[in-house]
Amino acid sequence: MATHHLTKTAYYILLALSDRERHGLGIASEVERFTEGEIVLGPGLLYGSIKRLAEEGLLEETEAVDSEQADPRRRYYRLSAAGRAALQSEVLLQSRILSEAQAKNAAQESS
């Protein structure tokens, strides 16, 4: 689109990881939670996107946190510094766009 923008999926995944680390399906269910069921990440998109984001250095795998009794199938991820920066800039952009949407809507109604 232009210089390096997050896809919608990448945006949602990074956001799901912004408060704490999660494993694959944990990310998917967090996204589903905060979109009230509107966004469902199927396995192809979920694991494919995680792989891509890890390759791009926006998130990184963590050693399973000892406290949670480990299910060895799970792979946990957290945001990298670059991932957090990318998320912040995307949040700013979306916030600007949303303001615009509200302004246009207000203009619309008053006409």
Partner DNA sequence: ACCTGATATATCAAAATCTGATAATTCGAG
Partner DNA sequence: CTCGAATTATCAGATTTTGATATATCAGGT
- Strand blocks (E) in 1-111: 22-23, 59-62, 76-79
Residue 104 interacting entry, from DNA, a copy of itself, none, C-beta within 5 to 8 Å by type: a copy of itself
Nearest distance, CB of residue 109 and DNA, angstroms: 28
| Site for a copy of itself contains 25 (CB under 8 A) | no
Angstrom distance (rounded) from CA 101 to CA 50: 30
| Site for DNA contains 75 (CB under 7 A) | yes
Angstrom distance (rounded) from CA 84 to CA 103: 29
**Which residues lie near DNA (CB under 7 A)?**
1-2, 5, 7-10, 23-26, 42-52, 69, 71-76
